[in-house]
Structure 1
């Protein structure tokens, strides 16, 4: 729903109740802040206590949860449903990254990356779908990665596998949940977040010659959550400064 505020500026998410995972920092935080400015009530879900500070600053609702724990996710979504009296949208922004060759990365670390990035996205989505189905039009946006579209960098096998899984999970969900729930993925390149520390130099290989700001990724997520993208589902939107073709 769009509605102008007192200054006459149209707010694209007025009345929407949206869960953002990974809201304590990075892309998740930028998304929570932008969505609140656009009129949404945002549930900030994160295992990091800093999510409470973000929620308080934007008038949202903080929920501590481990997205890799099915029971904890169910508890958290039930709390949000009770507090907000419904859920209209979900942004799965929680994720981790670690580098290492296929020979050297410990299996436990490989599993952790898959567990957080792919299984965590699945578990939150699984818990939210019954609540999202109660509305005529709901949205899910999953944060994948340019690595999930074109894994051409060494020592990122686990991360690329997890994010490639998120891309195809999003497409499969779009087919399964349409037309009532639209599901899309955003695939960022390098973003100026704590997760990208030490990797900024690789942006020289991008057409834009720089890393992205978190708010630039949040704007793409806003597009896929708002009515501006009402005929878009199953998309994997590269927001990567030209990495995918350069």
Structure 2
């Protein structure tokens, strides 16, 4: 999708985890494509700083996707502020790479609570608003290449993101034809979350670059471009899909 094409003109998009990483790229690009954007994030200060640069096309809402009351209130606020919701992007997530044998149950539970349950709760809160649109509403959930080809230590993360893929397929069946639901599986993307996985001063990637056919980190904007395609009418016959935006990792 070319920048500033206006393919999302008139659309009203909610992005969870929208203050940084892939979510922030979606917020910026969706606004440039003509959409109104509600940036939902725990870090309200960063969300407000981002949306302040969107020439009045975006606003920030504090939310915790793992808390049913918080995400429901945030979604209702977003719908009121934009006059409805046409699209939802579930980008909020956390990551941990820990060996399964010694993993504390709190780590497992946090990843499931935020990545999987949080995605479900956001979808659940958005559905009453999305169904009012009729056909044309769209949900895009962020899964991961780790759900397709996990590395050692990714048991909790892979399980949570694999659940997102299955959830997306189930919702695609349940919500059709009014709402399309798809998942995107990013590979090694240059985000603060992924950079934070480096330990003991090691600046290398958590997955060796030789596992990627393209041999490099991906950019948040490269994932966001796929997400925007799935939100737009160009993808009107796509639902229940999972698209790997991973530089060739899952086949290489």
TM-score (norm 1): 0.94
Q: 1:24 aligns with which of 8, 19, 24?
A: 19
Aligned equivalents of 1:39, 1:17: Cα separation in 2: 9
| Other structure's SS at 2:92 match | coil
Aligned equivalents of 1:227, 1:143: Cα separation in 2: 19
Q: CA deviation at 1:34?
A: 0.3
Give 4+ residue runs of structure 1 displaced > 3 Å after superposition. none
Aligned equivalents of 1:32, 1:81: Cα separation in 2: 16
Query: What does residue range 112-151 of structure 1 map to in structure 2 within 5 Å?
Result: 112-136=110-134, 137-151=136-150
| Other structure's SS at 1:91 match | strand
Aligned equivalents of 1:27, 1:166: Cα separation in 2: 17
Partner of 2:73: 75
Aligned equivalents of 1:155, 1:63: Cα separation in 2: 34
Partner of 1:195: 193
Query: What does residue range 1-246 of structure 1 map to in structure 2 within 5 Å?
Result: 10-49=5-44, 50-58=46-54, 59=56, 60-136=58-134, 137-151=136-150, 153-197=151-195, 198=198, 200=205, 202-246=208-252
Aligned equivalents of 2:20, 2:120: Cα separation in 1: 21
- Alignment gaps of 5+ in structure 2: 199-203
TM-score (norm 2): 0.92
Aligned equivalents of 1:10, 1:78: Cα separation in 2: 29
RMSD: 1.2
Q: CA deviation at 1:104?
A: 1.4
| Other structure's SS at 2:128 match | helix
Aligned equivalents of 2:225, 2:210: Cα separation in 1: 23
Partner of 2:201: none
Aligned equivalents of 1:122, 1:57: Cα separation in 2: 30
| Other structure's SS at 1:244 match | coil
| Other structure's SS at 1:90 match | strand
| Other structure's SS at 1:238 match | strand
- Alignment gaps of 5+ in structure 1: none
How many correspondences in the alignment? 238
